[in-house]
């Protein structure tokens, strides 16, 4: 059986500055790891991208659409409380 996965795409914006992107990616990896450890093992949830602009989002979804191993996309918009 072919290995399939779901792409985990995290949205953010430049509002917080470039320095925060590493922290957001770390949060995304933690979430993907948790979901993979606590769900069906037939598929995986793979953190793929941190999307910051509408053009990045458009390109990511075109790529996902053309990847035969991608079953779907899970999205999450990261934000911080101030």
Sequence spans of domains, the chain: 4-51+60-77
Q: Which of 18, 23, 9 has its CA nearest to residue 64?
A: 9
pLDDT digits (tens, 9 = 90+) for 33-51: 999 999 777 889 999 999 9
What is the arithmetic mean of pLDDT over 64-79? Answer: 91
pLDDT digits (tens, 9 = 90+) for 12-39: 887 777 888 888 899 999 999 999 999 7
Q: What percent of the chain has pLDDT over 70?
A: 95
Q: For residues 50 and 77, what is the distance between their CA atoms, to the nearest angstrom?
A: 10
Token code pair at residue 78: 């990261």
Statement: residue 1 has pLDDT above 60: no
Query: Which 8-state DSSP code applies to residue 40?
Result: -
Average pLDDT of every residue of the chain: 88
- By the 8 A CB rule, do 46 and 32 touch? yes
Q: For residues 23 and 69, what is the distance between their CA atoms, to the nearest angstrom?
A: 28
């Amino acid at each position: 059986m072919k290995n399939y996965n779901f792409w985990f795409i995290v949205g953010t914006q430049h509002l917080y500055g470039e320095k925060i992107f590493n922290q957001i990616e770390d949060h995304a990896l933690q979430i993907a790891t948790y979901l993979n450890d606590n769900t069906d093992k037939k598929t995986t949830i793979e953190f793929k991208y941190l999307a910051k602009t509408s053009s990045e989002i458009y390109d990511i979804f075109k790529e996902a659409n053309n990847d035969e191993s991608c079953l779907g996309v899970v999205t999450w918009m990261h934000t911080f409380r101030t």
